[in-house]
Amino acid sequence: MTEPLKNVLGAQVRDLRLARRLSQEGLAEELGVSTRYLAGIERGERNLTLDSVDALAEQLGVEAQALVVRQ
């Protein structure tokens, strides 16, 4: 079974944030969200409507990443 898209997204957000040497507080402020909300995204706890993307990808017979990654 593949990793849920929201977990993949969370890991990507965290990696990009760290690569840019931003704190959660700094990035959350830039995005206009709370630090707690951003932490939830990074942990894959926030839905962000990605469950719908997973369902659509399953229906299309592709990995969910194929729907969100520019080819």
Mean pLDDT for all residues in the chain: 78
Q: Which of 55, 58, 28, 54 minimizes the C-alpha distance to 41?
A: 28
pLDDT, position 71: 36
5-61 topology per CATH:
434 Repressor (Amino-terminal Domain) (1.10.260)
Helices (H), ranges, 20-70: 24-31, 35-42, 50-60, 65-68
**End-to-end Cα distance, the chain:** 23
pLDDT surpassing 90 at residue 1: no
Segments making up each domain of the chain, as ranges = 5-61
Q: What is the pTM of this model?
A: 0.69
